[in-house]
Structure 1
Amino acid sequence: MSELRDAAGLRILIVGASSGIGHAVARRAAARGATVAVAARRVELLTELAESIGGTAFELDVQDAKAIEKVVPQAVESLGGSVDAVLFTSTVVPFAYIEDTDVATWLHAYAVNALGANYVLRASLPHLSEDGVVLITSSREVGRPRAGVAAYDASKAALDEILNAWRSEHPDLSLIRVGMGPTEDTEILRGADRDLLEELFKSWVEHGQLPAQMSELDDVANTLVSLVTAAYANPSVVPEIVQLSPRIRKRPSKEETGS
């Protein structure tokens, strides 16, 4: 199958692209023809990515509203003064039982997952092209909380309400909220306490909250790019809320594989 080039000519800013989903989205968007600017905290990884896809990199901590106000216009300028799509994929997942979740952890989760997305959207709004699209990743698990991720779940629920307010006050905005399901190779467990994770995994399995398989990273990235290209090409329609879930595929039996 030949490579899609349906994003050719699109100017895209991806926030949270140093690893995981944002990194994969940047690669897929560039492969499909887009001009890409990327922003995140880990500038060394970001610079390497930008060089590999012919894009531009900007250091940005999404907890810093003033930095967002400064960096977003710079990134837009690197794209030619306007942007056709902004994707916010930055996220933090603090793992802790709710009684052990301290104030700093709660504030950090809200600052990145909810307020960071809000301020990036606000800073991007004046620079969107006429049919411009904003895509923000949330969580498929909002309303279905699991043990050990209270700050994450609550911050994503807050994000959903923030996006509802944006839709109410800006009905002309093409705003896509994507509930992300379990995805491979995202670094979501980076730095987490392994003993705690073992306990949490057991709880999730017992409550049927851990799928047998996870979505592949490149498939998720391609899906997000496709949502953007479809929304941009069809500006009278907004896919407002999209949920991504792993497709649990039947594993071949020994008889089928001949082993």
Structure 2
Amino acid sequence: MTDRHSNIDGLRLLVVGASSGIGQALAVAAQARGAKVALAARRIELLEKLAADLDGTAHELDVADPRGVERVIGAVGEQFGRIDAIVFTSTVVPFALVEHTDFTTWLHAFAVNTVGATHVLRSALPHLSDDAVVVVASSHDVGRPRRGVAAYNASKAALDELLRSWRAEHPELAVIRVSVGPTEGTEILRGADRDLLAELYRSWAQEGQIPAKMSAVDDVANAMLSLIAIARANPTVVTEIVHLAPRVDRASQR
């Protein structure tokens, strides 16, 4: 007998940010658990291979492009008939000290991390099924700033406020904000300046901001999928905010 609180068999799922990291792991886990998947991200060459492996569809998408968001959401809505769940994991993390973060970098961070997420949800409204669930990945660093990621943290804090507005104006929607702690197997450091990262890493270590152990990307992905299953199995409640942090085992504490 399948537990309805973990069952996503037949779920029509759109994963935005599926080309790597948590989004990719989530798409793989979702298909293994019986979901039908549509994948969206900028790197279409990676998506097409993954979609072929998962019997899904690949859609090239830069979430900072509003017309692109509308086009992809429309295509997925037409493909599925109705969308049962959306997971938004697209993110940009500009590594720079706050005084070195230029105007263009600020705009791009907010365009992807904040406005991109809300425009996906706005565009998806006409295509969502009854009891649809939207999961948006945020950061566990919101409200606990660390050096070198001001644009990322500020844009995620703004995203949190936007999600509160969505809940206030659309209480019928299950919108779940998932703050994700340090996770192995992501590409968060891709393209970053190595010398700056070394400097930042030293400062984070001094401030106690480096965990002893990171979460496994597959565990994070499956936990997020189970949140969707729980929300759909219990449609009169929604878990609005969830924190996924690395669990420190006892052996590492000795």
Provide the rounded CA distance (Å) in 1 between the counterparts of 2:232 and 2:51: 23
Question: In structure 1, what residue type is equivalent to 2:164?
Answer: N
Deviation at 1:250, TM superposition (A): 3.0
1:92 is aligned to 92
Work out whether 1:73 is the aligned partner of 2:74. Answer: yes
Provide the rounded CA distance (Å) in 2 between the counterparts of 1:145 and 1:56: 37
Deviation at 1:253, TM superposition (A): 10
Deviation at 1:251, TM superposition (A): 3.4
2:45 is aligned to 44
Work out whether 1:115 is the aligned partner of 2:108. Answer: no
1:181 is aligned to 181
* Alignment of structure 1 residues 120-199 onto 2, 5 Å: 120-199=120-199
Question: In structure 2, what residue type is equivalent to 1:55?
Answer: G
1:64 is aligned to 65
Deviation at 1:76, TM superposition (A): 1.9
Deviation at 1:252, TM superposition (A): 7.0
Structure 1 segments unaligned to the other structure (5+ residues):
255-259
1:236 is aligned to 236
Q: Deviations over 1:48-78 (max 9, x none)?
A: 1101111011111100011111110101222
Provide the rounded CA distance (Å) in 2 between the counterparts of 1:68 and 1:77: 14
Question: RMSD of aligned C-alpha atoms?
Answer: 1.6
User: Which stretch shows the higher mean deviation, 5-14 or 62-71?
Assistant: 5-14
Does the 8 A contact of 1:184 with 1:214 survive in 2? yes
Does the 8 A contact of 2:14 with 2:39 survive in 1? yes
1:77/1:147 CA distance change after superposition, 3 Å: same
Q: TM-score, normalising length from structure 1?
A: 0.94
Runs of 4+ deviating beyond 4 Å: none
Provide the rounded CA distance (Å) in 2 between the counterparts of 1:252 and 1:208: 16
Question: In structure 2, what residue type is equivalent to 1:91?
Answer: T
Question: In structure 2, what residue type is equivalent to 1:116?
Answer: G
Does the 8 A contact of 2:94 with 2:109 survive in 1? yes
Q: With CA pairs under 8 Å and 6+ residues apart, which has the higher RCO, 1 or 2? A: 2
Does the 8 A contact of 1:13 with 1:76 survive in 2? no
Aligned-residue identity in percent: 61
Does the 8 A contact of 1:56 with 1:78 survive in 2? no
Provide the rounded CA distance (Å) in 2 between the counterparts of 1:224 and 1:252: 26
Provide the rounded CA distance (Å) in 2 between the counterparts of 1:32 and 1:69: 28
Q: TM-score, normalising length from structure 2?
A: 0.96
Structure 2 segments unaligned to the other structure (5+ residues):
none
Q: Secondary structure at the match of 1:51?
A: helix
